[in-house]
Structure 1
Amino acid sequence: MYIDGLARIEVQEKEKAEAERIAKAAAKEKEQKVIDGAIQEALETYKQENAPASKKSKASGKKAAASASTSSDLESKVNWSKANSREITIFYPGQTSIEWILNGRDHGGARPFTKGGDRCVTCHDKETADMGAKIVTGEVAEETPIAGKRGSIPVTVDTTYDAEYLYMRFSWADGDHVPVPFVDGGKMDPKNPMKLAVMFANDNVEYADRAGCWGTCHHDAKNMPDAPDAATLAGSEFAKQINLEDGVTKYLKESRTKIEVKGRRGKKKGGWDKLKSEDELKALMGEKAYMDIVRYKSGEAIVEDGHISADRNMAGGQGADFDAKLKNGTWSVIMKRKLVSDKQGDISIAKDGLYNFGFAIHD
């Protein structure tokens, strides 16, 4: 009877979630129609009030319209009513590396993750807010708690596409800045109060199907428990092959000969210094065994497009267009990205394909 009752509850929860999704989509469609109407009315008013009286005024009017086209193109010209929408609660990860996830002493779900192929959301989808609160306060996996920082952010993600482009809209409530205790001045990136990173990968990257971009986060990366000191990095034979100038960056397990998970007998977890040969690393790129990363920096309005394999390289991709607005305490960030790219480090997206996706907000 318990199993039957549990099954009924699960069905009810799924039906409730689907009803909420449909209601939210309908509300968004209604809201978008109001916005589109207001924009159209404003454009008509603008045209009437700024009718060209001479060749000179025609030229100046054209210039003004061009300078204002970026935001209207991304927001109003996309048919968001057909978009798939989901609320995803992201959380502060602290120092929970991929090694932490794989180690049963740290993470009780390590065996189902590695042996059963369970995804992180299989167990944790409904408890991410609680997890974030525990980590950000130092109860779990954080040596330097950040007093007053929120542990999670509910984010609405809307996704759609046309013949050429993928469109993604991320919306969330802005939060007050909380000084970080382990950085001078309390700000890790003073020029950019918000950064949004979006990542794609195929199944050639192990764990991408279960943990998204978590496979790039290691116990020996910068600001992590087993991060090597500057002298060790400067004297490393790998300093000429990968970027170690500002510490160990994100990297993939596939680019190393070995990853230390358990840390027994004093061993450092991770594998920053177990780099494969250059030929092996080139082969990985040819197999598209990398993670495509696109990042938007709000303060500088800069878009970076690179990839993560042996290290994090924030250049070389095809790029993307972003439209970011902070209005009435809510961020709305839209990304417009070509589906197909011929740039190394990019993941091309076929309309009938299935891809692994992750995103992170740095505030």
Structure 2
Amino acid sequence: MRLTTITLSVLSVCAALASGSALAADPAKINWSKIPTVNVPLFYPGQSSYEWLLSDAHKGAAKEVKRGDACISCHDEKDAEKDLGEKLVKANRLEPTPVEGKNGFVNLKVQAAYDDKNAYLRFQWKTHNPFPGIEHQYLRFDGHEWKVYGFPKLDKVVQEGKQPGIYEDRMTVMLDDGKVPNFAKQGCWLTCHDGERDMPKLATKDEVAANAMLTAFKKNDVRKYLPATRNDPTDWKSGKTVEEINKLKAEGGFVDLIQWRAHRTYPLGMADDGYVLEWRNSDAGKDPFGGNSNKETHSPKYMYDAKKVGYKSITADQLRKGDHFLIREVNAVPFDPNAGWKEGDMVPDYILSREDAKGSAADNNAIASWKNGEWTVVMIRPLGLTNDDDKTLKEGGVYNVGFAVHDDNITTRGHHVSFVRTLALGGGKDVKADIKATKLK
């Protein structure tokens, strides 16, 4: 797998940032061998939604969940996560559509450091495939029109063999500063609900269109949300008013969501920034990626610049044989409908741009590499952010964190997740945390 060009591009971006005020340390030059490593087990959760945790089907543990007991108060035995993952990844009551060959467990290595300006979170994990998941869905010309090509492995069209499984690898961090009730004990399960994509009782378009809260926020489906945003925490339809939810946000009652994406942010040296409250939201401003399909014509907005890369499109037989990112300021030109398109021509369904990324959505940087079957990702998060959609990281702070990895061309619940952990930025020997960030000199 040729990653040389893009990898060097990412390192160049971060080196340029390091020379300015954005970074106090060059993350590529941190001596990580001197930073403690914590192994965090991740497991496949299936459809273990918040509603399921509260049900009698949860092996009699519903009462404990309702009173706010920690997940690990029951799942505290050695290899609990591995045992859970290997069980839930197979066909069972919590996995109605198992993915053939899917692994149930991932060991995530976590390291943390910080300086006067940033926190640096380093993650390493082995990928299920012998190649990095840097491909994402494409727009393919069928001889008449452009259609999406490639879907996540949980989608029916992939399981039926009608579409190939194509989706990017991802590394996700959920972060809470203690203001979200029960997140410290039950972590990301507070955000996972029936009604969401690939979950039980999937919300229909008509149900969503009839929902006052989702309509007010201009949402067209159900995504991750926190129980506090519903009058009935187990019913996505029972949304509170816009005023009530805005009050929750102003009080800090949201979870920060940082996602590194192997297709949509990796080549830009970034990780996107969002938060979970009434929905899985992007931060204010503009993300470093956007859709490449014209809503009116359904044709691409951009294509490859043949003068720079030697081609205007790729075909399916070129997948996983090169770097196929489409970056507006690097290798893209406006789409030409008269460029002699043939059946099978493909361009990425997402256009990337570091220059266009703006506001709070563009806070996070990242560098990454894939070698010998393992991703190494370093997220760079500024300290002291004061945006109303960010959690403020500061020296001495202790935070509740949950980690997730999307691997093997999959999304939604097909990830591997951790039970909640704690992260401390310094604070001395008396501070207790699962992961302690080392102060850089």
Return the TM-score normalized by structure 2. Answer: 0.60
* 1:48-76 deviations in Å (ceiling 9; x for gaps): xxxxxxxxxxxxxxx99955726996544
Shift of 1:350: 2.6
Query: CA distance change for structure 1 residues 227 and 74 in 2, over 3 Å: closer, same or farther?
Result: farther
Greater Rg by CA: 1
Query: CA distance change for structure 1 residues 101 and 342 in 2, over 3 Å: closer, same or farther?
Result: same
Q: Is the 8 A contact 1:242 1:311 kept in 2?
A: no
Match of 2:250 among 286, 289, 307: 286
Q: Is the 8 A contact 2:213 2:241 kept in 1?
A: no
Corresponding residue for residue 39 of structure 1: none
SS, match of residue 240 in structure 1: helix
Match of 1:315 among 283, 286, 308: 283
Corresponding residue for residue 100 of structure 1: 52
SS, match of residue 124 in structure 1: coil
Shift of 1:243: 4.9
Corresponding residue for residue 397 of structure 2: 353
Query: CA distance change for structure 1 residues 188 and 141 in 2, over 3 Å: closer, same or farther?
Result: farther
Q: Distance in 2 between matches of 1:210 and 1:65?
A: 37
* 1:285-305 deviations in Å (ceiling 9; x for gaps): 111000011111112325321
Q: Is the 8 A contact 1:291 1:345 kept in 2?
A: no
The 5 Å alignment of 1:1-363 reads 66=12, 69=15, 74-115=26-67, 117-125=68-76, 126-176=79-129, 180-185=153-158, 190=166, 192-245=167-220, 247-259=221-233, 270-301=234-265, 303-316=271-284, 317=360, 319-363=363-407
Q: Is the 8 A contact 2:209 2:215 kept in 1?
A: no
* 1:119-151 deviations in Å (ceiling 9; x for gaps): 223432531111111111023411211121001
Q: Is the 8 A contact 1:167 1:336 kept in 2?
A: yes
Q: Is the 8 A contact 2:11 2:28 kept in 1?
A: no
Query: CA distance change for structure 1 residues 140 and 74 in 2, over 3 Å: closer, same or farther?
Result: farther
Query: What value does the CA root-mean-square deviation take over the aligned residues?
Result: 2.8
Query: CA distance change for structure 1 residues 181 and 338 in 2, over 3 Å: closer, same or farther?
Result: closer
Structure 1 alignment gaps of length 5 or more: 1-62, 260-269
Q: Is the 8 A contact 1:200 1:358 kept in 2?
A: yes
Structure with higher helix content: 1
Query: CA distance change for structure 1 residues 66 and 281 in 2, over 3 Å: closer, same or farther?
Result: same
* 1:20-63 deviations in Å (ceiling 9; x for gaps): xxxxxxxxxxxxxxxxxxxxxxxxxxxxxxxxxxxxxxxxxxx9
Query: CA distance change for structure 1 residues 104 and 79 in 2, over 3 Å: closer, same or farther?
Result: farther
SS, match of residue 216 in structure 2: coil
Query: CA distance change for structure 1 residues 339 and 209 in 2, over 3 Å: closer, same or farther?
Result: same
Q: Is the 8 A contact 1:324 1:331 kept in 2?
A: yes
Q: Distance in 1 between matches of 2:55 and 2:280?
A: 24
SS, match of residue 134 in structure 1: helix
Query: How many residue pairs are counted as aligned between the two chains?
Result: 288
Corresponding residue for residue 31 of structure 1: none
Return the TM-score normalized by structure 1. Answer: 0.72
* 1:198-226 deviations in Å (ceiling 9; x for gaps): 11112221221012222111122122112
Query: CA distance change for structure 1 residues 68 and 351 in 2, over 3 Å: closer, same or farther?
Result: closer
Shift of 1:240: 2.5
Runs of 4+ in 1 over 4 A off after TM superposition: 63-68, 70-75, 186-189
Q: Distance in 1 between matches of 2:118 and 2:194?
A: 36
Q: Is the 8 A contact 1:306 1:313 kept in 2?
A: yes
Query: CA distance change for structure 1 residues 326 and 248 in 2, over 3 Å: closer, same or farther?
Result: same
Shift of 1:231: 2.2
Q: Distance in 2 between matches of 1:105 and 1:123?
A: 15
Query: CA distance change for structure 1 residues 132 and 243 in 2, over 3 Å: closer, same or farther?
Result: farther
Q: Distance in 1 between matches of 2:15 and 2:63?
A: 51
Shift of 1:109: 3.2
Q: Distance in 1 between matches of 2:184 and 2:115?
A: 25
* 1:291-326 deviations in Å (ceiling 9; x for gaps): 011111112325321111111112323521111111
Identity of aligned residues (%): 30
Shift of 1:159: 1.0
Q: Distance in 2 between matches of 1:188 and 1:237?
A: 37
Query: CA distance change for structure 1 residues 65 and 201 in 2, over 3 Å: closer, same or farther?
Result: closer
Q: Distance in 1 between matches of 2:371 and 2:223?
A: 33
Q: Distance in 1 between matches of 2:95 and 2:62?
A: 19
Q: Letter of the 2:222 partner, please give it.
A: V
Q: Distance in 1 between matches of 2:154 and 2:196?
A: 18
Q: Distance in 2 between matches of 1:315 and 1:71?
A: 21
